[in-house]
């Protein structure tokens, strides 16, 4: 089973800005969310904690790994979608026609950025390697986690626009006996106190 964890809040998240490869740290609330995540996994069997290389994910992963005496393994396949020239921009700054084109076409890429299909390919590769019968916590970002869900359900990337994934949430992907994957849970936030949900 892979427990995909979306990292805790950053100030860019709070401000409603796109956050791809820009390497923003956790906010104060994000650090509290990471601590709540660590507490929620404290009683679970965890064999590995794997993280995107971006510091907001690594810091979240470190809190979880510490409770289990584990080191954080960094895997580039878990990095957020590359927003290119749109990185750190407010959604309101993106031309409506460009935003509509992106939502309509999974092959679309922001200027200098990455297509959703590319995210799905690398996350599917990660899942194929990590669904080995052990319990893995993978700390990542909104687009890769949605891509893992699409891959598990066997649906196209356009479905990602119909998902809402909270910061510091947990989504679980399991392995079927035939070698495929299934969605066990999505967007769990019950581990977060009400004032840390956003």
Cα angle for residues 118, 97, 161 (degrees, 5° grid): 45
Structure-block tokens of residue 45: 């069997």
- State the Cα–Cα distance between residues 198 and 192, nearest whole angstrom: 10
- State the Cα–Cα distance between residues 41 and 35, nearest whole angstrom: 10
Cα angle for residues 25, 187, 129 (degrees, 5° grid): 80
Strands (E), the chain: 2-6, 48-51, 72-74, 136-140, 170-175, 181-188
Structure-block tokens of residue 121: 């390919």
Residues assigned a catalytic role: 7, 80
**Which of 139, 4, 128 has its CA nearest to residue 79?**
139
Strands (E), 113-153: 136-140
């Amino acid at each position: 089973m892979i427990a995909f964890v979306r990292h805790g809040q950053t100030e860019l998240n709070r401000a409603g800005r796109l956050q791809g490869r820009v390497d923003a740290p956790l906010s104060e609330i994000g650090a509290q969310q990471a601590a709540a995540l660590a507490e929620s996994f404290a009683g679970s069997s965890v064999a590995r904690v794997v993280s995107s290389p971006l510091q907001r994910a690594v810091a979240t992963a470190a809190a979880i790994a510490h409770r289990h005496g584990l080191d954080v393994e960094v895997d580039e396949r878990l990095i957020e979608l590359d927003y290119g020239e749109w990185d750190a921009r407010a959604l309101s700054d993106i031309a409506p026609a460009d935003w509509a084109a992106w939502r309509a076409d999974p092959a679309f890429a922001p200027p200098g950025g990455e297509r959703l299909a590319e995210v799905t390919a690398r996350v599917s590769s990660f899942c194929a390697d990590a669904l080995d019968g052990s319990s893995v916590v993978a700390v990542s970002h909104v687009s890769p986690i949605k891509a893992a869900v699409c891959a598990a359900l066997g649906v196209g990337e356009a479905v990602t626009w119909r998902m809402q994934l909270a910061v510091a949430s947990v989504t679980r992907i399991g392995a079927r006996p035939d070698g495929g994957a299934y969605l066990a849970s999505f967007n769990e936030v019950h581990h977060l106190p009400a004032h840390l949900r956003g």
